[in-house]
Amino acid sequence: MKRELFEYYNERAPEYEAFYWGEFPAKIADSDLYKNDTLTIQKLLPDYISGKCIDIACGTGFWLPVYEKNCNEITLIDQSESVLAECAKKIRRLEIENKAEIICDDLFSYPFKEHEYDSALMGFLISHFTEAEMNIFFNILKTLLIRGGRFAIIDGVWNKMIAKIRTSKAGMIKRALKDGREFEIYKRYFEKQDLQHLAEKFNINLEIIYWGKVFFLAAGNFTSKVEIVQ
Protein backbone atom coordinates (compact mmCIF):
# COMPACT_ATOMS: atom_id res chain seq x y z
CA MET A 1 0.00 0.00 0.00
CA LYS A 2 2.75 2.45 0.95
CA ARG A 3 4.85 1.62 -2.10
CA GLU A 4 1.97 2.56 -4.37
CA LEU A 5 1.36 5.77 -2.40
CA PHE A 6 5.00 6.82 -2.74
CA GLU A 7 5.09 5.88 -6.42
CA TYR A 8 1.93 7.90 -7.05
CA TYR A 9 3.33 11.08 -5.52
CA ASN A 10 6.71 10.56 -7.14
CA GLU A 11 5.11 10.31 -10.58
CA ARG A 12 2.64 13.11 -9.89
CA ALA A 13 5.26 15.68 -8.83
CA PRO A 14 5.17 17.92 -11.96
CA GLU A 15 1.37 18.16 -11.91
CA TYR A 16 0.70 17.89 -8.17
CA GLU A 17 -0.03 21.55 -7.41
CA ALA A 18 -2.84 21.73 -9.95
CA PHE A 19 -5.11 20.09 -7.41
CA TYR A 20 -4.99 23.17 -5.14
CA TRP A 21 -6.66 25.11 -7.93
CA GLY A 22 -9.28 22.45 -8.67
CA GLU A 23 -7.57 21.05 -11.77
CA PHE A 24 -7.90 17.27 -11.95
CA PRO A 25 -7.49 14.67 -14.72
CA ALA A 26 -11.27 14.28 -14.56
CA LYS A 27 -13.20 17.54 -14.97
CA ILE A 28 -15.09 18.69 -11.87
CA ALA A 29 -17.94 21.18 -11.74
CA ASP A 30 -16.84 23.12 -8.65
CA SER A 31 -13.13 23.82 -9.09
CA ASP A 32 -13.59 27.30 -7.55
CA LEU A 33 -14.12 25.69 -4.16
CA TYR A 34 -10.53 24.43 -4.23
CA LYS A 35 -9.20 27.82 -5.31
CA ASN A 36 -11.14 29.66 -2.63
CA ASP A 37 -10.02 27.36 0.18
CA THR A 38 -6.40 27.44 -1.02
CA LEU A 39 -6.31 31.24 -1.20
CA THR A 40 -7.89 31.58 2.24
CA ILE A 41 -5.44 29.17 3.87
CA GLN A 42 -2.52 30.91 2.18
CA LYS A 43 -3.56 34.13 3.92
CA LEU A 44 -4.05 32.52 7.33
CA LEU A 45 -1.17 30.04 7.54
CA PRO A 46 1.74 32.48 8.15
CA ASP A 47 0.33 33.36 11.61
CA TYR A 48 0.97 29.79 12.78
CA ILE A 49 4.41 28.91 11.37
CA SER A 50 7.51 30.71 12.66
CA GLY A 51 11.02 30.41 14.07
CA LYS A 52 12.80 27.15 13.34
CA CYS A 53 10.18 25.09 11.52
CA ILE A 54 9.79 21.69 9.90
CA ASP A 55 7.52 21.04 6.93
CA ILE A 56 6.72 17.33 7.25
CA ALA A 57 5.99 15.47 4.00
CA CYS A 58 6.48 18.85 2.34
CA GLY A 59 5.88 17.58 -1.18
CA THR A 60 6.62 20.29 -3.73
CA GLY A 61 6.82 22.92 -0.98
CA PHE A 62 3.56 24.49 -2.10
CA TRP A 63 3.04 26.40 1.17
CA LEU A 64 6.69 27.46 1.53
CA PRO A 65 6.34 30.87 -0.20
CA VAL A 66 3.61 31.99 2.22
CA TYR A 67 5.36 31.14 5.51
CA GLU A 68 9.10 31.28 4.83
CA LYS A 69 9.49 34.96 5.81
CA ASN A 70 8.44 34.07 9.37
CA CYS A 71 11.16 31.44 9.75
CA ASN A 72 14.87 31.69 10.40
CA GLU A 73 15.46 27.98 9.67
CA ILE A 74 13.32 25.59 7.62
CA THR A 75 13.58 21.80 7.31
CA LEU A 76 11.59 20.18 4.50
CA ILE A 77 11.34 16.40 4.57
CA ASP A 78 9.72 13.99 2.12
CA GLN A 79 10.40 10.51 0.74
CA SER A 80 9.94 11.46 -2.92
CA GLU A 81 12.94 12.71 -4.87
CA SER A 82 10.66 14.05 -7.60
CA VAL A 83 8.57 16.29 -5.35
CA LEU A 84 11.70 17.48 -3.56
CA ALA A 85 13.19 18.47 -6.92
CA GLU A 86 10.16 20.74 -7.38
CA CYS A 87 10.61 22.02 -3.84
CA ALA A 88 14.27 22.83 -4.51
CA LYS A 89 13.21 25.02 -7.43
CA LYS A 90 11.07 27.09 -5.05
CA ILE A 91 13.93 27.45 -2.61
CA ARG A 92 16.19 28.78 -5.36
CA ARG A 93 13.47 31.08 -6.70
CA LEU A 94 12.85 32.48 -3.22
CA GLU A 95 16.62 32.78 -2.67
CA ILE A 96 16.44 31.10 0.75
CA GLU A 97 19.12 28.44 0.29
CA ASN A 98 20.85 29.80 3.39
CA LYS A 99 17.98 28.85 5.71
CA ALA A 100 16.17 25.96 3.98
CA GLU A 101 17.32 22.33 4.21
CA ILE A 102 15.83 19.45 2.23
CA ILE A 103 15.85 15.89 3.60
CA CYS A 104 14.86 12.92 1.43
CA ASP A 105 13.96 10.22 3.93
CA ASP A 106 11.23 8.35 5.78
CA LEU A 107 9.89 10.55 8.56
CA PHE A 108 9.10 7.43 10.65
CA SER A 109 12.72 6.31 10.75
CA TYR A 110 14.75 9.51 10.34
CA PRO A 111 16.94 10.25 13.42
CA PHE A 112 15.54 13.67 14.33
CA LYS A 113 16.96 15.61 17.25
CA GLU A 114 14.52 15.99 20.10
CA HIS A 115 12.73 19.29 20.77
CA GLU A 116 14.45 20.96 17.84
CA TYR A 117 11.62 22.94 16.24
CA ASP A 118 9.46 25.90 17.21
CA SER A 119 6.74 25.00 14.71
CA ALA A 120 5.69 22.29 12.27
CA LEU A 121 3.45 22.00 9.23
CA MET A 122 1.63 18.91 7.98
CA GLY A 123 -0.12 19.50 4.69
CA PHE A 124 -2.27 16.59 3.47
CA LEU A 125 -0.19 14.12 5.46
CA ILE A 126 -2.25 12.64 8.27
CA SER A 127 -5.05 11.80 5.82
CA HIS A 128 -2.81 8.99 4.52
CA PHE A 129 -2.27 7.43 7.97
CA THR A 130 -3.90 4.35 9.40
CA GLU A 131 -4.77 4.55 13.11
CA ALA A 132 -1.52 2.78 14.05
CA GLU A 133 0.54 5.21 11.97
CA MET A 134 -1.36 8.16 13.45
CA ASN A 135 -0.35 7.03 16.95
CA ILE A 136 3.31 6.74 16.00
CA PHE A 137 3.33 10.03 14.13
CA PHE A 138 1.92 12.20 16.90
CA ASN A 139 4.41 10.72 19.35
CA ILE A 140 7.19 11.66 16.91
CA LEU A 141 5.75 15.15 16.47
CA LYS A 142 5.68 15.71 20.22
CA THR A 143 9.40 14.92 20.46
CA LEU A 144 10.23 17.20 17.51
CA LEU A 145 8.70 20.36 18.95
CA ILE A 146 9.97 22.50 21.78
CA ARG A 147 7.73 22.74 24.82
CA GLY A 148 4.71 24.77 23.74
CA GLY A 149 5.76 24.53 20.07
CA ARG A 150 2.90 24.95 17.66
CA PHE A 151 1.91 22.92 14.62
CA ALA A 152 -0.52 23.45 11.76
CA ILE A 153 -2.55 20.84 9.90
CA ILE A 154 -3.99 21.35 6.42
CA ASP A 155 -6.14 18.55 5.07
CA GLY A 156 -9.37 17.51 3.41
CA VAL A 157 -12.94 18.02 4.66
CA TRP A 158 -15.59 15.31 4.66
CA ASN A 159 -19.03 16.70 3.82
CA LYS A 160 -22.07 15.96 1.67
CA MET A 161 -20.37 17.24 -1.47
CA ILE A 162 -17.34 14.96 -1.02
CA ALA A 163 -19.61 12.06 -0.08
CA LYS A 164 -21.15 12.24 -3.56
CA ILE A 165 -17.82 11.33 -5.17
CA ARG A 166 -16.27 9.15 -2.42
CA THR A 167 -17.90 6.01 -1.09
CA SER A 168 -16.46 6.30 2.44
CA LYS A 169 -14.68 8.75 4.73
CA ALA A 170 -11.61 6.50 4.96
CA GLY A 171 -10.26 3.69 2.82
CA MET A 172 -8.57 2.81 -0.43
CA ILE A 173 -9.32 5.08 -3.38
CA LYS A 174 -8.11 5.31 -6.97
CA ARG A 175 -6.16 8.36 -8.11
CA ALA A 176 -5.28 9.04 -11.75
CA LEU A 177 -2.54 11.02 -13.47
CA LYS A 178 -3.06 13.11 -16.59
CA ASP A 179 -1.56 10.32 -18.70
CA GLY A 180 -4.27 7.93 -17.51
CA ARG A 181 -2.21 5.81 -15.10
CA GLU A 182 -4.11 4.89 -11.95
CA PHE A 183 -2.89 4.25 -8.41
CA GLU A 184 -4.73 2.90 -5.38
CA ILE A 185 -3.91 4.74 -2.17
CA TYR A 186 -5.23 5.02 1.38
CA LYS A 187 -7.03 8.29 2.10
CA ARG A 188 -9.22 9.65 4.86
CA TYR A 189 -11.27 12.83 5.13
CA PHE A 190 -12.07 14.73 8.33
CA GLU A 191 -15.08 16.04 10.15
CA LYS A 192 -14.74 18.41 13.08
CA GLN A 193 -15.46 15.54 15.46
CA ASP A 194 -12.40 13.70 14.11
CA LEU A 195 -10.21 16.62 15.13
CA GLN A 196 -11.87 16.58 18.55
CA HIS A 197 -10.90 12.92 18.82
CA LEU A 198 -7.27 13.69 17.86
CA ALA A 199 -7.12 16.49 20.42
CA GLU A 200 -8.39 14.26 23.22
CA LYS A 201 -6.30 11.25 22.27
CA PHE A 202 -2.96 13.07 22.01
CA ASN A 203 -3.48 15.85 24.58
CA ILE A 204 -3.58 18.70 22.09
CA ASN A 205 -5.00 22.19 22.43
CA LEU A 206 -6.44 22.47 18.96
CA GLU A 207 -7.98 25.45 17.21
CA ILE A 208 -9.90 25.14 13.96
CA ILE A 209 -8.70 28.22 12.12
CA TYR A 210 -10.64 27.66 8.92
CA TRP A 211 -13.20 25.05 7.86
CA GLY A 212 -13.79 25.33 4.15
CA LYS A 213 -15.75 23.40 1.56
CA VAL A 214 -12.87 21.06 0.70
CA PHE A 215 -9.88 22.00 2.91
CA PHE A 216 -9.39 22.94 6.56
CA LEU A 217 -6.64 24.58 8.58
CA ALA A 218 -6.15 23.75 12.26
CA ALA A 219 -3.39 24.73 14.68
CA GLY A 220 -2.40 23.29 18.02
CA ASN A 221 0.17 22.43 20.62
CA PHE A 222 0.66 19.56 23.05
CA THR A 223 -0.58 20.15 26.58
CA SER A 224 -1.82 18.34 29.68
CA LYS A 225 -5.18 20.12 29.42
CA VAL A 226 -7.15 19.54 26.24
CA GLU A 227 -9.22 22.27 24.64
CA ILE A 228 -10.65 22.54 21.13
CA VAL A 229 -11.79 25.88 19.73
CA GLN A 230 -14.09 26.00 16.70
31 within some domain: no
Distance of CA 149 to the CA centre of its chain: 17
pTM passes above 0.85: yes
Mean pLDDT of 11-36: 75
29 within some domain: no
Percent of the chain beyond pLDDT 90? Answer: 67
Amino acid at 191: E
6 within some domain: yes
C-alpha span between 128 and 116 (Å, rounded): 25
191 within some domain: yes
C-alpha span between 220 and 121 (Å, rounded): 11
CB atoms within 10 A of CB 209: 20
pLDDT for residue 40 is more than 70: yes
**For 165-187, how does the pLDDT look when each residue is reduced to its tens digit (9 = 90+)?**
777 887 777 776 677 777 677 78
Mean pLDDT of 26-34: 74
Percent of the chain beyond pLDDT 70? Answer: 85
126 within some domain: yes
C-alpha span between 166 and 164 (Å, rounded): 6
Q: Identify the pLDDT of residue 7.
A: 63
Domains in the chain, number = 1
28 within some domain: no
**For 90-143, how does the pLDDT look when each residue is reduced to its tens digit (9 = 90+)?**
999 999 999 999 999 999 999 999 999 999 999 999 998 989 999 999 999 999
Q: What mean pLDDT value characterizes the chain?
A: 88
Q: Measured in Å, how far apart are the chain's first and last C-alpha atoms?
A: 34
26 within some domain: no
Q: Identify the pLDDT of residue 2.
A: 65
Q: Identify the pLDDT of residue 162.
A: 78
150 within some domain: yes
C-alpha span between 165 and 173 (Å, rounded): 11
Question: What is the CATH classification number for the domain harbouring 153?
Answer: 3.40.50.150
Task: Name the residue range of residue 72's domain.
Answer: 2-16+36-229
Mean pLDDT of 176-200: 84
The DSSP secondary structure of 22-86, one letter per residue, reads T--SS--S-HHHHHHHHHHHHHHGGGG--EEEEEET-TTTTTHHHHGGGEEEEEEEES-HHHHHH
C-alpha span between 40 and 217 (Å, rounded): 10
